[in-house]
Structure 1
Amino acid sequence: MNDATNKGGMTFGHGTAMYVGAVLGTGVIALPALAAEQAGPASLLAWLALVLLSAPLAGTFAALGARYPDAGGVSTYVRLAFGKHAAAVVGWWFYLAVPLGAVPAALFGAAYVSAAAGGGTTATTVTAAVLMVVVTAANAVGLQVSSRLQLVLAGLLVLLLVVSVGLSLPHADMDNLQPFAPHGWAAVGSAGALLVWSFAGWEAITHLAGEFRRPQRDLPRATAVAVVVVGALYLLVAFATVTVLGPGAAGTDAPLGELMAIGLGGNARWLAAGAAVLLTLGAMNAYYAGAAKLGAALGRDGALPRALAGGSMAGEVPRRSLTVNSALSFAALAVVVATGVGSRPMLLLTTGSFVAVYALGVAAALKLLPARSKGWAAAVAALVAVVALLVMSGPYLLWPLAVAGAALLYLRINRGRRPVQEEKEERPEIVAEPSM
């Protein structure tokens, strides 16, 4: 197997940490309780289903990233499969989804901090803004600093989750599993729609594939480890939430804090706040890094203004793209605060965008990956997952539909513009199919 070395400095460990941070994210902070409120103990089935559905999605994007390591990520794969118009659409979906998703992510983590320190809405808003500043600064310094930070954050995060769940499980009561489906079996599907947020992220690291030293070897391995780690942690936290907290789980916005308090005794609000901050920084760090690289690639390819093109090559820092993405995040936060609508609409709009990205990404994989290879087989299985996610997303797919119209209008207005590089230079080198 050709094991070519890139200019990037990301290793297997860095990549695994990026994946864990991107996918584990902020969902574990609040969604176990929200899902339990929706479907009772049967919400565990929704968690299990989404863990199983996410595995082929992860495998598909790992195969694409290893074979076509480019900052454009899913946008590059769609361009190679279906042309520049489809690539621009999927690129806009992801690039504009990150600022929307940054708002609920930052607010989820900030809520834990304000609960520990007091201060209400003002403290939550200020903390959310500080989290955005920290992540922007980390990525502005450079991806190697960002990925090292992610490695530390992921390690601390996994340790905190394992300790809190492990110490709380001796207090589990299996009677809390009855009645198993108090709201009916249809509620499992409703819970699954909420949990889609928890599993978005498998596509995010594809934008960083070119930053791996050995993408065709390390990217699939990092993906496999992350699938196991993320799936196990989600299931453990969800099981502990249902069996330890029981019916009371539905009434708390901070289930992780409750588990820590039960397991450690006393007031564990600050420890819970620390875990929430780690989760938030990890998820936002991975998404900001991926979006910044994508914006630079879209500027290079003509789908966004040429001014954003700097930093698309491996080892470069896409500071202009990062600045735009960060500014949009702050603008979205300002809208939420000013209108008082809360973070839920932003969360669901983000989920709709990522599901749309998955749909085109899997379609591209089926066309690009060698037939009957492991990556192609994963894409076939992922097709089932995508159909299920599209059904769950429902009306929130109207947002990516509107963004697609805007992207196509931009291309039409700028149809005379040539890409920064010629097509031959734009296309990433095709490397040997990785063993997965």
Structure 2
Amino acid sequence: MTLARRLLRTKPTERIVAEGGHGEGGELRRTMSLWQLTLFSVGATLGTGIFVILGQAVPKAGPAVVLSFVLAAITALFSALSYAELAGTIPVSGSSYSYAYATLGELVAWICGWCLMLEYAVSVAAVAVGWGEYLNAFLRALFGFTLPEAITRSPGQDGGVVNVAAIAIVLLATWLLLHGASESATANAVLVLVKVAVLAFFCAVAFTAFRSGNLAPFAPMGVAGITAAASQVFFSYIGFDAASTAGEEARNPRRDLPLAIVLSLALVTAVYVLVALAAVGAMPWTGFDPEGTQAGLSRIADLAVGATWPGLIVSFGAVIAIASVVLTVIYGQTRILFAMSRDGLIPRVFQRVSPRRRVPVANTLIVAAFICVLAGLVPLGQLAEATSIGTLFAFALVNVGVLVLRYRRPELPRSFRTPLFPATPVLGAILCGVVMAGLAGVTWLAFGLWMLVGLICYFLYGYGHSRLNAEVS
């Protein structure tokens, strides 16, 4: 078999599904319900984005930012439907990595998995870095004091030495994950319900100060402003695919995974639209400050009531939002690495399952240690922005994977079929490319360097240890 054929050899779908749940030392336990899976995706998606993004997006679109959120949701929906089809067809932990292995070959699967490593590890580290600042904002409003900058900021930031706050939230999430998937899902459900309740509280408060005059002119920047803001808020929808990483711990994955992905996107969209409408109705769009974004919703809530306690509650919601994102994203990272290790592309330690806890303990501890180093000691800078391009690349591969699998294996049982095929996955792939094209040049440079390192790692280790290649040899 030639090198090219080896690199592009696909893994049979039936085999991927048959190996699901199995690791060294034991099996993962199927405990997650539809409700828990849905909240997993909501937990990963509904982060601090909505707490900060309005201040940046409203000056571009005016009150029509509400339509920008809808437009961004439609853009995300094309990829979500493709994820839903493949999650119901290949219900395993690898998510888009496993889907690429079944449709586009080993090298493309490796590249997809490598992109996800960038997305998950760096993004959760970046989110954890911001947790100390939100915690300080909450403590300042509640008690009038803050934690020292030396332990709430990373090196490179003013006064930062070691970001102990970021390390603490990562360790808390790790502790929950080591107790089991069901316990983690329950904790995440509580966190998600709290932050949704906080956003509902914000809407209730903001609507008391709603003035219809604040919505005029509705689209001062025209269609160009709406689309520009939509490109910016699109990244607030990234995370809806989190449920697909729980394919081997779901009770009824073929039925529940597609539903969880679509339901989570619908729920998040409803929350975003309501919050955006309440915000622009309570405060004139010209009053939004793109520089002072961290306390955007808190400020609006305070102004609506004429007191400081509403903003305190909203700040608490931001603290909870970050905790939920850290928990769900670390979970997704460990499950993707679990699938890659089972295929031999990374060391076997990542697929070892604790017989007692039924979770990949060593995998979780290694990931947590790496993220702690990133969050506590490394100035992430532009690298954090590069996570978006890795996510979009994985989305594009999933859309292409739906097309390939439909044509190659039309007889496969599918619990969910993407509607309006092939238009939906084609549009999904094109839209991902359009959004990627709009990213900054430095982001593309970081992405290119990351891909180069990934290819070197694959040919030094993955290619020689691949189980699929070993069988051919």
TM-score after normalising by structure 1? 0.86
Name 1:15's counterpart in structure 2.
37
Q: What are the Cα deviations for residues 74-116 of structure 1, in whole angstroms up to 9, with x where unaligned?
A: 1111011111111111101112221211133224443222113
Matched residue, 1:290: 332
Give the aligned residue type for 1:297. Answer: A
- Distance in 2 (CA, whole Å) between partners of 1:92 and 1:207 is 15
1:77 correspondence with 2:99 = yes
Moved more, 4-13 or 129-138: 4-13
Is 2:344 the partner of 1:317? no
| Whole-Å separation in 2 of the counterparts to 1:398 and 1:196 | 21
1:253-272 to 2 correspondence within 5 Å?
253-262=294-303, 266-268=307-309, 269-272=311-314
Match of 1:429 in 2: none
CA distance in 1, matches of 2:471, 2:305: 59
Q: Name which of 188, 208, 215 aligns with 1:170.
A: 208
Q: What is the CA–CA distance in structure 2 between the aligned matches of 1:240 and 1:67, rounded to whole Å?
A: 40
- Across the aligned residues of Structure 1 and Structure 2, the Cα RMSD in angstroms comes to 3.0
Give identity over the alignment, percent: 24
The 8 Å contact of residues 396 and 428 in structure 2, kept in 1 or not, is answered as: no
Which residue in 2 is equivalent to 1:275? 317
Which amino acid is the alignment partner of residue 331 of structure 1?
Answer: V
CA contact (8 A) 1:76 1:87 kept: yes
Q: Is 1:47–1:195's contact at 8 Å kept on the other side of the alignment?
A: yes
Tell me, which stretches of 5 or more residues in structure 2 are unaligned?
1-17, 22-28, 141-145, 154-163
CA distance 1:312–1:381, shift in 2 (3 Å): farther
Residues in 1 aligned to 2:453 and 2:243: alpha-carbon distance in whole angstroms: 25
Judge conservation of contact 1:297–1:312 (CA < 8 Å) in 2: no
Give per-residue Cα distances to partners, 1:53-91, cap 9 Å, x unaligned.
Answer: 122222211221121111211111101111111111110
* Conservation of the 8 A alpha-carbon contact between 2:69 and 2:230: yes
Q: 1:392 aligns with which of 438, 441, 452?
A: 438
The 8 Å contact of residues 310 and 320 in structure 1, kept in 2 or not, is answered as yes
Residue 265 of structure 1 deviates from its aligned partner by 5.1
Structure 1 residues 291 and 274, CA gap change in structure 2 (3 angstroms): same
SS at match of 1:374: coil
Q: Name the residue aligned to 1:359.
A: 396
Q: What is the alpha-carbon distance in structure 1 between the residues aligned to residue 274 and residue 436 of structure 2?
A: 27
Partner residue of 1:410 out of 457, 460, 463 = 457
Instruction: Look up the SS of the partner of 1:257 in the other structure.
Output: helix
**Displacement, 1:332?**
2.3
Give the alignment partner of residue 97 of structure 1, picking from 103, 109, 119.
Answer: 119
CA distance in 2 between counterparts of 1:87 and 1:312 reads 27
Unaligned 5+ segments in structure 1 are 425-436
Report the 3-state secondary structure (helix = DSSP H, G, I; strand = E; otherwise coil) of the residue aligned with 1:114: helix
TM superposition shift of 1:42: 3.7
TM-score, L = length of structure 2: 0.79
Aligned length: 415
2:429 to 361, 383, 402: 383
1:154 Cα shift? Answer: 1.6
Give the C-alpha shift of residue 346 in structure 1.
4.0
SS at match of 1:213: coil
Residue of structure 2 equivalent to 1:306: 348
Q: How much does 1:149 deviate?
A: 0.7
CA distance in 1, matches of 2:226, 2:398: 27
- Equivalent residue runs for 1:21-420 within 5 Å: 21-118=43-140, 119=146, 121-122=149-150, 124-125=152-153, 126-182=164-220, 185-246=223-284, 247-250=286-289, 251-262=292-303, 266-268=307-309, 269-311=311-353, 316-337=358-379, 341=381, 345-369=382-406, 374-375=417-418, 377=421, 378-395=424-441, 396-414=443-461, 415-419=463-467
Which structure's residues are more often helix, by fraction?
1
Equivalent residue for 1:430?
Answer: none
Q: How many Å apart are 1:261 and its aligned residue?
A: 2.6
